[in-house]
Homo-oligomer: A and B are copies of this chain.
Amino acid sequence: MSNSIGVDVGGTKIAAGVVDQKGDIVARTRRDTPSQDVSGIVGAIIDVTRELAAEHEIGVVGVGSAGFVDAGRSRVMFAPNLAWRDLDLRDRVEDATGLPVVVENDANSAAWGEFRFGAASDVEDMVLLTIGTGVGGAVVKDGALYRGANGIAGELGHLRMVPDGQLCGCGLRGCLEAYASGTALVRNAQSAATSAAVTFSGSAERLLEMAAGDPGNITGPMVTAAANDGDELARELIADLGRWLGEAMGSLIAVFDPATFVLGGGVAEAGDMLLEPTNEAMRRSVTGGAHRPHATVRFATLGNDAGIVGAADLARL
Contact = CB atoms under 8 A, between A and B. Distances in A.
A170 to B, nearest CB: 5
Interface stretch (A9-17, A25-33, A196-204): A196-204
A80 interface: yes
A92 interface: no
Interface in A214-264: 247, 250-252, 254-260
Contacts of A171: 191-192, 194-199, 287
B163 A198 contact: no
A153 interface: yes
Given A155-B255, A255-B154, A291 B197 contact: no
A298 to B, nearest CB: 14
A291 B85 contact: yes
Contact of A170 (B125, B149, B150, B197): B197
Given A285-B172, A287-B170, A288-B68, A151 B195 contact: no
Interface string A156-192: 1011111111111111111100010000000110011
Interface in A68-90: 68, 77-78, 80, 85-86
19 contacts: A68-B292, A78-B292, A80-B195, A80-B288, A141-B146, A152-B257, A156-B254, A158-B254, A158-B287, A159-B255, A160-B161, A160-B247, A164-B165, A167-B188, A173-B199, A197-B289, A198-B285, A201-B284, A251-B251
